[in-house]
Amino acid sequence: MLLFLLTKTKLTMISFNKIVNKLCKKCGNIVFLTDIFEIIDPEQKAWNRTKLNKIVYRLKNEWYIIPLKNGVYIIPDAQDQQLNIIDLIDKYYLRLLKKYITKEVGSQYFISGKKALEIHMRDYSLPEKIYICNRTLNKKIKIWSYEIIFKTISWKEEQKKINLYSRFSQYHKLINIEWIDFKIAWLEHALLEWALIWESYNGVDVSLVQKCMKKFSRVFDEDIFREIGRYKYILAFNRLKELSKNTHMSRYYVFLDIIKRNGNLFIGEGVRAI
């Protein structure tokens, strides 16, 4: 009997050590609780959930994993134990972002809106909000002060809602940021997305749009603007038209023509809605 108990204890310790060894091979990465369960029980046997949770608790208690939020963990490297939770989130933000994107929508996405526009301007700072356009998912994920917002793109035609992801997904490019590849909306689409969703009534600074239009005015692809304008973004085109009036008259007339060809819906002259 004693031999049986010793053998059982030894097997349990070996099992835990194997778990730790597998985790250590992934140092410096983000894992979800489901990833840890797969390491603990790769054959997906019908374990008791309480036993699994006890192992996860021990892993946390012995600093083999550091929780960021419920069900999300860092497998720390040697320096991470010296960092507070805010610094850890900042350090691992891009890996966490890619992990969530892969989990939620796989490869069917592109980053759009303000952050995409900033990336085109070579600003790689961490955004408070980031918009992930995709085919099927509308969801917000909050991680301390950061938000990852998954959003679909749709359009109504004759009272029928049409998903536009397949039509717009071609307008993206692959950009590597800190050795991680992200799909980023092309400049023209990113500009329209941000011009559409900025919260003007809260006094959001429009200087990013103005700087972008000034920097890239000569390289914008008019055909992309016209193709996208067939489906939506009339509010965005109105805003860009107004911002272009005194600085980029050639662009002003392009945006004006797009509005006329796609419903003739004007928000008004001057700075209304900006």
Long-range contacts of 56-63 (CB under 8 A, 24+ apart): 58/16, 59/19, 59/20, 59/23
**For the chain, which residues make up each domain, given as ranges?**
2-82, 96-185, 187-274
Cβ(72)–Cβ(92) below 8 Å? no
Count of residues in the chain: 274
Instruction: Point out which residues pair with 32 in neighbouring strands.
Output: 72
Residues 6+ apart with CB under 8 A from 176: 182
pLDDT over 80 (residue 271): no
DSSP 8-state symbol, 198: -
Q: Give 64-78 pLDDT, tens digit per residue.
A: 999 999 899 999 998
Q: Is the pLDDT of residue 254 over 90?
A: yes
Pairing of strands 139-143, 146-152: antiparallel
Q: What's the pLDDT tens digit per position in 4-16?
A: 333 443 434 347 8
Q: Give me the chain's average pLDDT, please.
A: 85
* Residue partners of 242: CB distance under 8 A and separation at least 6: 269, 270, 271, 272, 273, 274
**pLDDT number for residue 226:** 94
Q: Tell the CATH topology of 2-82.
A: Arc Repressor Mutant, subunit A (1.10.10)
Residue 272 has pLDDT above 50, yes or no: no
